[in-house]
């Protein structure tokens, strides 16, 4: 019994080969690859996935609109085959360099040692402060054209944004539909011949609210109604 406890203490004091910050698809995939390589891995995840409102993940090989929660669940189940991979709920409060790697401080827990850090926490997607967007977010109002563009192809589409970045994004969106309008929400018309050549219209009126039918169709209501398929 003493030898076993000594072995466990030695195991705990040994640095992790990698601490992965984030338990979404990227973090779990990294943990799987490292686990199969027989590395000692700790995954830290606060269970706040950026795509939680999504009704299905698109563009993922081998899956057809799998729900984000189901994807995370199956990924964790797959990791259970590897005793050298640990998934812990929590958040990383600080990381400090050390002679042989890093000290990783976890919120409300003791620090751990790691030889490498993998940042897989992804992005944070906050909806713009438009009245009425809450019931539509993730259903007919999306943050990423590449994630959901295929599902709304050939429908009338509106892009909310302004400036040169909005011009580029609206042109990208035009690859999924020939009926695209750029809504600047009160900002000046960014102009440029490229939008006109691509058939992208521009509306500069401030957006008053978003309205929808069970979250599936929306109309951006400005000075005049603008329907968005």
In this structure, is residue 137 part of a structural domain?
Answer: no
- The torsion of the CA quartet 210, 215, 216, 222, rounded to 10 degrees, works out to 0
In this structure, is residue 129 part of a structural domain?
Answer: no
Task: Answer yes or no: do 24 and 79 share one domain.
Answer: yes
Query: pLDDT by residue (tens digit) across 68-80?
Result: 899 999 999 999 9
Task: Answer yes or no: do 8 and 112 share one domain.
Answer: yes
Position 177 pLDDT exceeds 70: yes
Q: Are 118 and 18 in contact (CB under 8 A)?
A: yes
* CATH number reported for the structural domain that contains residue 29 in this entry: 3.50.50.60
Domain count, the chain: 2
Of 84, 119, 154, which one is at a domain's C-terminal end? Answer: 119
Mean pLDDT of 107-116: 92
Query: pLDDT by residue (tens digit) across 7-45?
Result: 444 445 689 999 999 999 999 999 999 999 999 999 999
Per-residue pLDDT, 99: 86
Return the higher-pLDDT residue of 186 and 218. 186
Task: Answer yes or no: do 7 and 114 share one domain.
Answer: yes
Per-residue pLDDT, 222: 40
In the chain, count H helices and then E strands. 6, 13
In this structure, is residue 138 part of a structural domain?
Answer: no
Task: Answer yes or no: do 95 and 155 share one domain.
Answer: no
Q: Model's pTM, two decimal places?
A: 0.77
Return the higher-pLDDT residue of 183 and 13. 183
DSSP-derived letter for residue 150 is: G
Per-residue pLDDT, 45: 96
Task: Answer yes or no: do 36 and 104 share one domain.
Answer: yes
Q: Are 158 and 181 in contact (CB under 8 A)?
A: yes
Share of the chain above pLDDT 70, in %: 87
Task: Answer yes or no: do 91 and 6 share one domain.
Answer: yes
Domain range for 107 = 2-119
Query: How far apart, in whole angstroms, are the C-alpha atoms of residue 124 and residue 142?
Result: 13
């Amino acid at each position: 019994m003493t030898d076993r406890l000594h072995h466990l203490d030695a195991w705990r004091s040994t640095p992790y080969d990698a601490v992965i910050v984030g338990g979404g698809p990227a973090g779990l995939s990294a943990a799987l690859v490292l686990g199969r390589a027989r590395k000692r891995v700790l995954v830290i995840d606060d269970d706040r996935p950026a795509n939680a409102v999504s009704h299905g993940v698109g563009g993922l090989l081998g899956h057809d609109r799998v729900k984000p929660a189901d994807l995370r669940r199956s990924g964790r189940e797959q990791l259970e085959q590897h005793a050298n991979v640990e998934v812990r709920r929590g958040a990383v409060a600080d990381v400090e360099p050390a002679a042989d790697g890093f000290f990783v401080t976890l919120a409300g827990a003791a620090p751990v040692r790691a030889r490498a850090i993998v940042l897989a926490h992804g992005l944070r997607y906050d909806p713009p402060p438009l009245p009425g967007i809450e019931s539509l977010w993730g259903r007919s109002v999306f943050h990423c054209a590449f994630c959901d563009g295929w599902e709304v192809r050939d429908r009338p589409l509106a892009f909310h944004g302004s400036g040169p970045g909005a011009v580029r994004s609206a042109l990208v969106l035009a690859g999924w539909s020939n009926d695209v309008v750029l809504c600047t929400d009160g900002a000046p018309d960014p102009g440029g011949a490229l939008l006109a050549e691509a058939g992208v219209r521009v509306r500069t009126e401030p957006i008053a609210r978003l309205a929808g039918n069970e979250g599936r169709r929306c109309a951006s209501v400005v000075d005049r109604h603008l329907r968005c398929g």
